[in-house]
Structure 1
Amino acid sequence: MAEYSLVTIEITRSYDSAAFKEDIKSMMLNVAKSSGKGLVFLFSDTQIVKESFLECINNILNTGEVPNLFAADEVEQIIGLVRPLAKAAGKQDSRDVIWSHFVHLVRESLHIVLAFSPVGEAFRARCRQFPSLINCCTIDWFMPWPKDALYSVAERNYKDADKSLGIDNYVGSLSAMSGVIHSSVTSMAENFFLTLRRRTYITPTSYLELIKLFLSLLEELQGVLTARLKRYTVGVDKLNQTNAIVDKLKQDLTEMQ
């Protein structure tokens, strides 16, 4: 979109705060190397291995930089990269001015997209601890999907399912069924809250997981049935072979008599 590059982080078992800071540095350097071309950093709450990740993001959102992020030699590299850009923008040729221009480029060109679930206490605690997540962001709230949206999402997922599942002729029925299940569970969750004062959240992600679970169970069940069918087929073949042998023995006995 808008010809911006999209980047995200790849979480591994050894991924830590140092690795995250290296990725942040790489993004900021890419902004300088591309002369301020737009870069989008997509970050979800499932990628928060350590809360210090949010401290870096909070600083970038608030000031455009992370204190003590770059080593001295890296600062010199950035100054060299940004000097022509600052000069073209009519800025003074001084280190402080050039660095300020670099920070300006980061704030203007590095767009951070945060995908957080509002469910639970963690989101509230993070918003209190890192206020820039609220103050420096535009918040898009995703409301419950209407009936047509539930149907369309299910239809797309079922159409994209493996053809070996054999559900092509049932996509419409499955899509409608999935929407009804989700809506009924949402209603039951509200009744559960009214009765026991305990909140259970049914989100769009829950709906996608429902579809994924159905397809997974269907594939698993088909595997079980295929294995049983193969076993029965082999058994029938063995019986037929045995019957043929018995018939041959009967014929041999008759001839011997």
Structure 2
Amino acid sequence: MHLRHARSLLFLPASNARAIAKARTLSCDMVILDLEDAVADDAKEAARANAIAALAEGFGSRIAAARINVEGTPWHGAEMVALKGSAADYVVLPKVEHPKQVRDVFSVAQKPVIAMIESARGVLAAADIAATEGCAALFMGNNDLRKDLNIPASAGREGLAFAMQSVVLAARAAGLAVFDGVYNRLGDAPGLADECRDGHALGFDGKTLIHPNQIAVANDAFGPDAQALDDARRLIAAATGGAERFEGAMIETMHVEQARALIARAHAVGA
């Protein structure tokens, strides 16, 4: 699967062998073995070994990645080196604020890098980060961004809207995929669905997740529905080239391209 088609991107602790095994049975599009926030300091080295072994075993058709610790931590260098020879498709790098961070990881790990934008500096530098060689996609890190912007955890996403749209613009200008941040309230499926719809409307390709029970909601929100696919097929069949009328609306080549992209996405995710 192409990264741009991923709808559900599940973070799980690289120290949790049971969670890793379960991930191979889940309907997520991407598995991200977390070596950073989800792993205690005294478990980092064991988690790194677990991650390398799990990546070698693979996750079927799912995209596989590992999130490493940020530069300046004791584990950063060893994780980059370990991932160089691993079966990871991507390296996820947290707290990116300048392009050099991406270049350094790409140079050592020799894997495409997904940059997490988690601060005001990261948002302002997002366009330069996305344009850096080796950068494959951008993730929103909304929890840390809220803290940096002094937005209460209990507040809605209104205060993040400009930052999120800025990151989407940066990714699209560089031709990259871009994914919405995690939703923390695990038992709130309606709230998650609302946030997924909001993220989809902002232009995100999919959503990063922290629990398996969030996968179906994200897949539904970011995957083409039956009506949209039917509309796309009818539009393609009716189009003859140039601007013309279709079911009460004006369409042109751009709309045909969008319809074909929607169908390609559906095929990629088995919809």
Same fold (TM over 0.5): no
- Larger strand percent: 2
TM-score normalised according to structure 1 size: 0.31
Of the two, which has the highest radius of gyration? Answer: 1
TM-score normalised according to structure 2 size: 0.29
